[in-house]
Chains A and B, each alone.
Chain A
Amino acid sequence: MSATPGTDLLVFEEVSKFYGEVLGVDRVTLSIPPGITGLVGPNGSGKTTLMNLATGLIRPTRGRVSVLGIPPDDPERLFAACGYCTCFEAFPAGATGWTFLEGVLSLRGEGRAAARALAGKALERVGLVDAAGRKVAGYSKGMKQRLRLAAAIAPDPRVLLLDEPLNGLDPMARAEVLDLFRNLAAEGKHVVVSSHILHEVDLLADRVVLVKSGYVVAEGESHGLREEVVERPMQVLVRCDRPGALAARLFADGLVTEVELHEDARGLLARTRTPDRFFLALNEAVVTDGLEVETVTPADDDVKAVYRYLIEGEEGG
């Protein structure tokens, strides 16, 4: 497709960003091809900074960024090709799902009918049609996440930057959204997904970029990551209506090593060494037992140790 080198890539060339004296990222050089790329690192490692740099929300202190050959300071061309699902949670006051999406799409210069059609299609893809007439202020965290995702994918961009897109989604929605990302990648798009959860990215990405303390510490194909991650238990926070019953089921199936029930009896913190089977069992509990899940949030505070483990392993090997 690309006529000139770099026009089919997301390129960071020796990019540094400092917030005053605080390091955001330093001397990052990356070329990201089409497909799903996972940007993985602990909170504060520089993942969001890289995405914000690529979309011009912030400017590099040094270096050069381009998306399909387009510099970030050309929003007309950049956002005709690129959609960004940010981690910023605020929405305009009083907006409903429909009015928010139509408003965002009308900024593209679309007519009202075209904007509504695009909005409808995107809401359908993220499974939010039924709630679209309601005020966003009353949405759950997961619904807001899906709405942000709808805004990013609605214009069918060639590049999608997704900052922690699975945060707050319930198990069913997670599975649907993961499928959606795979479909988008299969259409030849760039899908860059940031996460601080290695397991999430391992399920999804063709390649992984590990970021830590503002530096890219490793990058490459993601296969093989899963086995290494299995060595360490993953922590998952589940908010639901019957945490006790869920905990009993998970223990009975041998899917968790430890569970802490929340004091308000509306959630639990589980540690699992088999995240794949854990999430499958969670889905089954929703479908067969009618468990009402409000949110599922990975809460892996040991993630830095996993990175260290992986990076040391790579260097050693």
Chain B
Amino acid sequence: MTRDVRLRQLGAVVRLELRRLFRGREGRATLFFALAPLLLAIVGLTARNTPLTAGRAENAFAFVFQNLILQGTLYFGCLFTFGGLVRGEQIGKTLHHLLLAPVRREVVLLGKYLAACAVTATLFGLTSAASYLLLLSDSGRPAMLAHLGAGGAGRMVAYVFVATLACAAYGAVFLAFGQWVKNPIFPALAFWGWEHLNFLLPEGLKRLGLIHYLLSLTPVRVPESFLAILGEPLPVWVSIPVPLLFTAALLAFAAWKVRRTEVDYGIE
């Protein structure tokens, strides 16, 4: 089979998966998680009497992005989307439609992963940028424009990039969990605990958590707690390739598992 045919097959899997995600409950759950920080920002701003300054808005968003988005809504949004990519089709008894086509299972898996990445990165990237702009808008239009012109726009793009990288990396984690165990929620909760406790760990152990690499890329960092052991942010040449390599390794594992996946809904 030629490379062109495989690419067309990959495109077909991506299109089918996008359709499935938009129509299924995974898509709705991801949309809910992506919109949650934006809605909270609206509620928070509505409840305040005094407007935020641009500087405080920047710090407020840094806190929201670090604690609410990265370790909350994005994490669980990705769990719903990626954890159900294969598992969800097993439960819905539709997986065989993909596996009875003359396409390699690895191509099916990759297509599904790319579609889920596109959906989650778009949703969380857009809502992160929207939340940033919304908080900043509380300082007034002139102050907001001045802040954006003085590096704010670049920082907003950086947040979108971190959200995209987080979707790719956490997505690979949950895809692998979904291939490894029947219910990926339990290992995902354990991994969430590990990521959440990362700020308490000494420098060497911090590197065993994805969150450490992602936070190193955020333009503004706020301490998680007075107990936090603050380490130096990792350089970009470490904090980008390491999550990507980790992602590639997990995708390789998921591909190995999907080749061995059996479809027998009767014994599910």
Contact = CB atoms under 8 A, between A and B. Distances in A.
**Which of A22, A55, A88, A89 is the most central at the interface, judged by chain B CB atoms within 10 Å of its CB?**
A88
A19 B266 CA distance: 11
A175 B103 CA distance: 33
A107 B12 contact: yes
Interface string B234-268: 00000000000000000000000001101111010
A86 B96 contact: yes
B189 to A, nearest CB: 27
A19 B267 contact: yes
Interface string B1-15: 100111011001101
A76 B94 contact: no
Interface residues of A, number: 36
Interface in B1-42: 1, 4-6, 8-9, 12-13, 15-16, 19-20, 23-24
B206 interface: no
Given A88-B265, A104-B97, A109-B5, A80 B102 contact: yes
A104 B234 CA distance: 46
Interface string B75-108: 0000000000000000011101111111111000
A90 B12 contact: no
A259 to B, nearest CB: 33
B263 A57 contact: yes
Interface stretch (A91-99, A248-256, A280-288): A91-99
B9 A92 contact: no
The main secondary structure of chain B at its interface with chain A is helix
A58 B23 contact: no
A12 to B, nearest CB: 17
Nearest to B13: A107
A66 B253 CA distance: 27
B94 A91 contact: yes
A23 to B, nearest CB: 12
B266 to A, nearest CB: 8
- The size class of the interface chain B forms with chain A is 20 to 34
B6 to A, nearest CB: 7
A209 interface: no
A295 interface: no
A123 B16 CA distance: 20
A152 B249 CA distance: 35
A146 interface: no
**Which of A76, A77, A99, A107 is the most central at the interface, judged by chain B CB atoms within 10 Å of its CB?**
A107
Contacts of A189: none
**Which of B24, B101, B263, B267 is the most central at the interface, judged by chain A CB atoms within 10 Å of its CB?**
B101
A78 interface: yes
Contacts of B262: 57-59
Contacts of B15: 103, 106
11 contacts: A52-B263, A57-B96, A76-B103, A90-B94, A92-B16, A93-B92, A106-B16, A107-B101, A109-B5, A109-B8, A110-B8
Instruction: Give the top 5 A-B pairs by smallest Cβ distance, nearest first.
Output: A107-B101, A79-B102, A109-B5, A106-B12, A90-B93
Interface of A: 19, 22, 52, 55-59, 73, 75-80, 83-84, 86, 88-94, 99-100, 103-104, 106-111, 151
